[in-house]
Structure 1
Amino acid sequence: MSAILSTDDLNDFISPGVACIKPVEALPAAAPPTDVSLEHEVILDGTPAAAAAATAKSNAPAEISLTDCLACSGCVTSAEAVLVSLQSHSEVLSLLDSAPGLQIRQDEASGKWSVEGLEDPDSKLFVASVSPQARANLAAACGGRIGEQAAGDMISHLFSSRDGLRAGGKHGNGFTWVADTNATREACLVLGAEEALGEALGGDNKASKPILSSSCPGWVCYAEKTHPHVLPHLSRVKSPQALMGTLIKTTLSRVLGITPDRIWHLAVMPCFDKKLEASREELTDSVWGGDGNPGRGVRDVDCVITSKEILMLTESRGLDFFALPQTPVPQAQRTPFPDPGIQQFLFPPHRRRQAEPAAGTSGGNLYYALQYVSAKNPGSKIETVRGRNADVVEYSVVSAAGQPIFKAARYYGFRNIQNLVRRLKPARPSRMPGGKPVGGSRKQLEYAYVEVMACPGGCTNGGGQVKIDDPVVVERKGIVSKPGPQEQKDWLAEVDEAYFSAEDSSCGEDSVSGAKETTEDLVGGISPSKIRDTLAHWASITGIDANRLVSTTYREVISDVGKDKSTDTEKVVQLASKIGGGW
């Protein structure tokens, strides 16, 4: 979705097109008895007025879900935005006020966990996860006085402490856990690097070289709708948001003995397109809890809101986000995660820090893969060559002898993405006997891995982020004139600075152990062996194969918009009727 498009700016209504995959099916209602005493009856297009009114009433507005929208490429951007708005801060508040919160208790003697409130079928267990890009954006909105971690503490207070959402609403609900997606990001980095080297994600669900990153939903939707030839190249590793959703739903449902639909997972992301990702049928319990095929099951991520919508959320509840505490939520107000291994993974005693600036602000998939390859080849070094613009960069891992070992690239922004997909387009066989293949790129890609992001500049520049011209920033910065492109560029630099501001520190009173972990196999500050052990532990809890938990699939989206669906037989009949023929 365009970075300049906001759901709040829409004032148009777009009805479903004639080729919508979920058409309106409404039969005319039976006409009421006609009053014979009437001397005159108004006829509209050959239909009695009463019958016409009944027919119009029966044609209720079409109910099309976001999942339906993803199966059709005929919608325009604003129509998708209308459906995206169904996941909003208003939905969060509505659910908190309508569904009583489940309470988690642990018996001190036996250590067993129990869930209170299951007798109410509407009750939910609320869990949230927050991306570092969203935290960095809100940190910049605070005036640049704080870092990304402090902004994360403010969000945690909003979601889970007594001074936040729990202070209002019908049930005084809040979120039992607020997780950092950096946890699943680390797992995705290790899995992505192993996939690039052919070391992970076994079975038939393998990506072809060059492997293209798939954590950007705008890029994935674009590929599925317009360039299906690149789908075999998309990484099969789930995004951090999707992996967090699967981890939360599978673990809690198994450990607590509740169904996935009783767990409500909210994700805070920098991008509106993450709402589209949350609605994918590939990311539901029908995959990990059913036959393994995509379907309309329970979503792993129930709702996604953006950084901008966090401010809307606080305003709707009469709270001042900028007045929230910038310290961790006290231990007395925290609930331990019911599995110690997953607790240690999601809520470690020491906070995670972002990678170095060379990794970029989109998670660092590419840079970690380069570090991973370099670590396996002692004496090697990483070389960088800038492309035609700042959003195209080529990388090589070169051995000590000067031989290239691993080639990769970064392509950000749709203009650069279009050049990428053209170079991946295969040649078509010639229709002439012995003829040469037609089309295809003359210059084939030699990369093993390509990091692709729809937004120029990366995820900190996502469409759902607070911008320099938003009223809250204008007011807090005292901006008089309308900000221009340079001011927006400076603002993005502030967000990036906040993104890399995190330092190693204790999480506060929730530390599980006093000693800091030390490992010998660290790559970019992450231990691949620890990630593998965590994934194996997760698989043992759920009884589901780890590859099935961490991987996803893609499908070509074929649109019927503007196409003639008539069969050959129907066309012959139509032609015969036009020329006076018959059967």
Structure 2
Amino acid sequence: MSAILSADDLNDFISPGVACIKPVETLPKQAPERINAYEVTTEDKLQKANAPPVQISLTDCLACSGCVTSAEAVLVSLQSHSEVLNALDSQPSIHLSATGYEDEANTAQGRLFVASVSPQVRASLAATYGVSEAEAGWMIDQLLGGPQGLATGGKYGNGFSWIIDTNAMREASLVLGADEVTESLQNTASQATSNDDGASTTSPKRPILSSACPGWICYAEKTHPHVLPHLSRLKSPQALTGTLLKTILSQRLSINPDQIWHVSIMPCFDKKLEASREELTDIYWRPPSTTAAAQPVRDVDCVITAREVLMLADTRGISFPALPRTPISSSAFPDPMLSSFLFPKHHQKQASEAGTSGGYLHHILQTQLALDPSSVLKTTRGRNADVVEYAITSPNQEQPVFKAARYYGFRNIQNLVRKLKPQKKSRLPGGRVGVRAGAAGGGGAGMDYAYVEVMACPGGCTNGGGQIKVDDLPIKPETAMSQKAWLGRVDEAYYSMSESESENENENEKNDAMQINDNDNEEAREVEGNGMINGIATARVREVLEHWAQTTGIDLQKLVTTSYRKVESDVGKVGGAENERVVELAGKIGGGW
């Protein structure tokens, strides 16, 4: 397994109150040694047998309690900080210049190393070392691509050429997600078609369920295939970033996609499973004229977590807190339009209403509110803080014009999937389909939501299984702190995302920046009047996406969408998968999921 996964971590995510979803095997009762058929025995005379303890291993549970197959367990073990170092030491890095690459011979044999970092990881490290979220991001950049980072050691002294903030492709996910919901509302009469395994082949059915959480997707594919037609078809920001880097860089630099090695730093172990999905390889997006590689090329080659970042530094003998808290200089990205999109001068500040999981539902609500300025948003808390319902009402209508919800944590997700379970048909001749209490018209969903944001982790992505826990802190706090209080500190760091490159820049630097960016600001103001929603210039995002498709010659739907299918898990089954077959599946770059 990954070095960070050990027996000590088995309860790191069940502890916040998540009910384990693994069914407990019920053993047959042992018969008494002597049985008298004519004797009346009372219950208190029966010998009490102690039930055997329930054994749950990492093969059964991973991070957010999503059950994994044996092959998936091996796939996860192949993704660790050690794998990052092995990749860096496997081949020389492709040397880049302002115009592209410098040495053609080096380009034919070398690799291009790129990385992407999520804001939740930066928040975890910021809370750990008492720095700002921006400074934590610069420290990660210094480790991956700076002169005092990983490049100081190893066989070739390799580092990462570009470190991408996944917030860029998160904005693309938000815009595409809002478009997906709007399209479903306009086509209320159309229903998605389904395969035999329950996976939808067209647009998702209402209510649309978010698909960015791999723990939730893993759970749905293995235990509740009836919800697959409801899943959003959009890739997660991690997958979108990987597809973008593999397609654009290979096209602009005239190298093969398998020469680009992409590591993603995420808050969740289940993101390793997402990176191993066969659906997230070049098989599903490469142009027909392109020569296929010997093996499928993953969009994301390796995923590590916040805790593994610290292990990565320790293995190289680097003190992470001693790294410079300043930006690094890197080569110019080979596509100017995408460069300004992937490396913006200003970061969008996160609103607390958006939550810590990307703000998918928040952006969709803001998009619907923008359609009618007189509409009002009403929020209703559910049975706990991780269940919230939202309703947009208009003064001209009695009923809500738009309803949505948020379900976090597996205990709440189980209630959600029960409501989505199809209605059973009566077995009696001429019987009709049964109707559940509270079922809405238009399918067996049993609810009238248009969209539901679903996340496996209670509290959202800042509480991911790979995040630094209060017991893992390298610098112990002066006073005892609970895990809940620690999560509050991480959330505070997440919401305090700086809007500028530096929180300490003086007024002269601010004025200079304003003068330099006059043209950019003017363009932003023009877009603001024509599609600025939730602080995101939607028109510009669509322009960037269209540019991506035109540059690569690949249809945009192939680039940004994925599919799902029913998966048979071997967890708890006698025999399981053979070791040879497991290793064979894990050895395939495309994955065995």
Distance 1:209 1:445 in 2: 9
- AA in 1 matched with 2:382: G
- Please state how far the C-alpha of 1:123 moved relative to its aligned partner: 1.9
Aligned length: 485
Task: Show the counterpart of 2:389.
Answer: 394
Question: Does residue 132 of structure 1 match 2:128?
Answer: no
Q: Which position in structure 1 is the counterpart of 2:559?
A: 549
- The answer for the alignment partner of 2:169 in structure 1 is 184
Alignment CA distance shift 1:200-1:242 (3 Å)? farther
The residue aligned with 2:214 is 217
| Offset at residue 255 of structure 1 (A) | 1.0
Hey, what does 2:150 align to over in structure 1?
165
Which of 1 and 2 has greater Rg?
A: 1
**Counterpart pick for 1:446 among 441, 445, 448:** 448
Give ranges in structure 1 of 5+ residues lacking alignment: 13-68, 108-112, 566-583
1:538 equivalent in alignment to 2:548? yes
| Aligned-residue offset at 1:380 | 1.1
Q: Give the conservation status (yes or no) of the 8 Å contact 1:426–1:441.
A: no
Give 1:459's aligned residue: 461
Aligned to 1:371: 366
Alpha carbons of structure 1 residues 247 and 305: separation in structure 2 relative to 1, 3 Å? same
Question: Partners of 1:278 and 1:165 in 2: how far apart?
Answer: 23
Deviation, 1:211, is: 0.0
Asked if the contact 1:133/1:361 (under 8 Å) is kept, the reply is: yes
The answer on whether the counterparts of 2:133 and 2:498 sit within 8 Å (CA) in structure 1 is no
Taking the aligned partners of 1:564 and 1:471, their CA distance within structure 2 comes to: 40
Which residues in structure 2 correspond to 1:457-536 (within 5 Å)?
Answer: 457-472=459-474, 475-478=475-478, 487-506=482-501, 514-515=517-518, 516=521, 517-518=524-525, 519-520=528-529, 521-536=531-546
**CA contact under 8 A between 1:422 and 1:441: conserved in structure 2?**
no
User: Are 2:230 and 1:233 aligned?
Assistant: yes
With over 3 angstroms needed to count, the CA separation of the structure-2 counterparts of 1:200 and 1:312, relative to structure 1, is: farther
Instruction: Assess, with a 3 A threshold, how the Cα gap between structure 1 residues 170 and 511 changes in structure 2: closer, same or farther.
Output: farther
> What one-letter code is carried by the residue in structure 1 that aligns with 2:117?
V
1:349-428 equivalence runs, <5 A:
349-354=345-350, 356-401=351-396, 403=398, 404-428=400-424
Residue equivalent to 1:578:
none
Q: Would you say the 8 A contact 1:284–1:296 is kept in 2? A: no
State the alpha-carbon separation in 1 of the partners of residues 67 and 388 from structure 2.
33
What SS class does the counterpart of residue 97 from structure 2 fall into? strand
| CA deviation map 1:439-493 (0-9, x unaligned) | 8675311100000000000000000000000151xx34246x7x6xxx1000000
Partner Cα separation in structure 2 for residue 118 and residue 193 of structure 1: 46
How much has 1:402 moved relative to structure 2? 5.5
* Alpha carbons of structure 1 residues 173 and 492: separation in structure 2 relative to 1, 3 Å: same
1:97 alignment partner in structure 2: 89
- Opposite residue 84 of structure 1, the aligned amino acid is V
Look up the match of 1:42.
none
Quote the offset at 1:387 in angstroms.
0.3
Q: Is the 8 A contact 1:392 1:412 kept in 2?
A: yes
Looking at structure 2, the residues matched to 327 and 546 of structure 1 have their Cα atoms a distance apart, in angstroms, of 36
After superposition, the C-alpha distances for 1:485-540 in whole angstroms (9 at most, x for unaligned) are xx100000000000011232147999896233333221110011111100000011
Q: How does 1:48-447 map to 2 (within 5 A)?
A: 80-81=72-73, 83-107=75-99, 113-114=100-101, 116=103, 118-119=105-106, 123-143=110-130, 146-198=131-183, 205-289=202-286, 297-329=296-328, 333-354=329-350, 356-401=351-396, 403=398, 404-437=400-433, 443=439, 444-447=446-449
| Cα shift readout 1:411-445 (whole Å, capped 9, x = no counterpart) | 00000000000000002323322113358675311
Secondary structure at the residue paired with 2:89?
Answer: helix
CA displacement, residues 396-416 of structure 1 (integer Å, 9 cap, x when unaligned): 111133641110000000000
Shift of 1:555: 0.7
The whole-number CA distance in structure 2 between the counterparts of 1:297 and 1:77 is: 21
Question: SS in structure 2 opposite 1:186?
Answer: helix
Q: Give the aligned partner of residue 47 of structure 1.
A: none
Q: TM-score, length-normalised on structure 1?
A: 0.77
Q: Structure 2 counterpart of 1:369, which letter?
A: I
Residues 564 and 267 from structure 1, CA distance in 2 versus in 1: closer, same or farther, beyond 3 angstroms?
Answer: closer
Q: Give the whole-Å Cα distance in 1 for the aligned partners of 2:67 and 2:347.
A: 42
In structure 2, the gaps of 5 or more residues are 11-60, 193-200, 440-445, 577-593
| Distance 1:118-1:132 versus aligned 2 partners, 3 A rule | farther
State how far apart, in whole Å, the 1-side matches of 2:575 and 2:6 are: 36
Q: Distance in 2 between matches of 1:558 and 1:400?
A: 49
Indicate the SS of the match to 2:471.
coil
Query: Aligned partners of 1:491, 1:457: CA distance in 2, in Å?
Result: 12
Specify the code of the residue in structure 1 equivalent to 2:7. D
Letter in 1 for 2:284: V
Work out the CA distance in 1 between the residues paired with 2:390 and 2:168.
26
Find the aligned partners of 2:430 and 2:4 in 1 and give their Cα distance. 53
Q: Is the 8 A contact 2:119 2:494 kept in 1?
A: yes
Shift in CA distance, 401/118, structure 1 to aligned 2, threshold 3 Å:
farther
Kept in 2: contact 1:195–1:201 (CA 8 A):
no
Any conservation in 2 of the 1:349–1:511 contact (CA below 8 Å)? Answer: no
| Cα distance in 2 for residues equivalent to 1:406 and 1:400 | 13
Q: Distance in 1 between matches of 2:185 and 2:141?
A: 34
SS at match of 2:565: coil
Q: Helix, strand or coil: the match of 1:198?
A: helix
* 1:477 match: secondary structure: coil
Structure 2 Cα separation of the partners of residues 201 and 296 of structure 1:
41
| CA shift for structure 1 position 200 | 11
Identity %: 56
| 1:9 corresponds to which of 7, 11, 14 | 7
TM-score, normalised via structure 2 length: 0.76
Q: How far is 1:117 from its partner?
A: 5.6
**Distance verdict in 2 for CA 1:414–1:302, change over 3 Å:** same
Query: How many angstroms does 1:199 deviate by?
Result: 7.0
Paired position in structure 2 for 1:45 = none
Q: Distance in 2 between matches of 1:148 and 1:319?
A: 20
> Does structure 2 retain, via aligned residues, the 8 Å contact 1:181–1:241?
yes
Describe the shift of the 1:220–1:118 C-alpha distance in structure 2 as closer, same or farther (beyond 3 A): farther
1:18-71 per-residue CA deviation (whole Å, 9 max, x = no partner) reads: xxxxxxxxxxxxxxxxxxxxxxxxxxxxxxxxxxxxxxxxxxxxxxxxxxx99x
Deviations 1:66-96 (A, max 9, x none): xxx99xx997678855541310001101111
Amino acid at match of 1:455: C
Contact in 2 for aligned 1:7/1:81 (Cα 8 Å): no
Check the 8 A contact 1:423/1:441 in 2, yes or no: no
Please give the alpha-carbon distance, in whole angstroms, between the structure 2 residues aligned to 1:503 and 1:478.
27
Contact (CA 8 Å) 1:150, 1:326: kept in 2 or not? Answer: yes
**Distance in 2 between residues matched to 1:213 and 1:374, nearest whole Å:** 20
Residues in 2 aligned to 1:235 and 1:382: alpha-carbon distance in whole angstroms: 23
